[in-house]
Chain A
Amino acid sequence: MLRWKYSRPLLALLLALLALAPILGANPLSRPGLQQTMAVAFIWGGLALTYDLLFGFTGLLSFGHALYFATGVYVSCILINYNVVVWWLAALISIAASALLALLVGAASLRTSGITFAMVTLAFGEAGHVIIQRNFFNLTGGENGIALNADRIPSFFISVANTKFIYWAALAALIFTYAVIWWVTESSAGRVFAALRDNELRVQVLGLNTQRYKLLAFVISAALAALLGAVMLIAAGSAAPRFADAGVTISLLLMVVLGGAVTRWGAVIGGIFYSIATTRMQDLTQQESFKTIPKWIGGPIAEPALVLGLLFIFVVMFAPGGLSGAYYRLRLRAITKKSQ
Chain B
Amino acid sequence: METFILIGITGIGLGALYFLVASGLSLIYGLMGVLNFAHGGFLTVGAFVGFWVASKTGFETSMSEFILAMLVGGLAAGLFALLIEQLLITRLYDRHIDQALVTVGVSLVVGAVLGGWFGNDLRMFPAPLWFLTAIDVGGAKIPADRIVYITTAILLLVGNWAILKFTRIGLIIRAGVENRNMVNALGINVRRAFSTVFFLGGFSAGVGGVLVSVYSNGVSPLIAGTYLIYGFIVVVIGGMGSVPGSFIAAMMIGVIRQFANYYATGLGDFVVVILLAVVLLIRPQGLLGKVRA
| A residues in contact (CB < 8 Å) with B | 61, 108-109, 111-112, 114-116, 118-120, 122-124, 126-127, 130-131, 134, 246, 250, 253-254, 257, 295-296, 298-306, 308-310, 312-313, 316-317, 320
Contact = CB atoms under 8 A, between A and B. Distances in A.
Nearest to B268: A130
A122 B229 contact: yes
Contact of B109 (A61, A257, A310, A317): A310
A312 B104 CA distance: 9
Contacts of A298: 116
B112 A309 contact: yes
A317 B102 contact: yes
Nearest to B281: A108
Contacts of A111: 280-281, 284
B24 interface: no
B116 A299 contact: yes
A309 B103 CA distance: 10
Given A127-B269, A130-B270, A131-B270, A305 B281 contact: no
B26 to A, nearest CB: 11
Interface string B259-286: 0000000100110110011001100100
A309 B108 contact: yes
A302 B116 contact: yes
A305 B116 CA distance: 10
B111 interface: yes
Given A127-B270, A300-B112, A305-B112, A257 B101 contact: yes
B105 A116 contact: no
A309 B109 contact: yes
Nearest to B29: A115
Interface stretch (B121-129, B154-162, B232-240, B242-250): B232-240
Contacts of B68: none
Contact of A303 (B105, B107, B116, B240): B116
Contact of B280 (A108, A131, A316): A108
Given A120-B280, A123-B229, A131-B270, A313 B105 contact: yes
15 contacts: A115-B29, A115-B100, A119-B232, A123-B229, A126-B273, A127-B270, A130-B269, A250-B108, A300-B116, A303-B113, A303-B116, A304-B112, A306-B113, A309-B107, A313-B88
A306 B117 CA distance: 12
A298 B92 CA distance: 31
B102 A114 contact: no
Contacts of A127: 269-270, 272-273
A297 to B, nearest CB: 8
A194 to B, nearest CB: 16
Nearest to B35: A115
Interface string B66-97: 00000000000000000000001001100011
Nearest to B37: A250
B106 interface: yes
When A and B form their complex, which 7 residue pairs have the shortest distance between CB atoms, in order from nearest?
A299-B116, A309-B108, A300-B116, A306-B112, A303-B112, A313-B105, A127-B273
A212 B272 CA distance: 27
A87 to B, nearest CB: 30
Contacts of A123: 229, 232-233, 236, 273, 276
Contacts of A114: 96
B2 interface: no
A246 B229 contact: yes
Contacts of B115: 299-300, 303, 305
B105 A316 contact: yes
B284 A305 contact: no
Nearest to A304: B112
Given A115-B33, A115-B35, A313-B102, A300 B229 contact: no
Contacts of B136: none
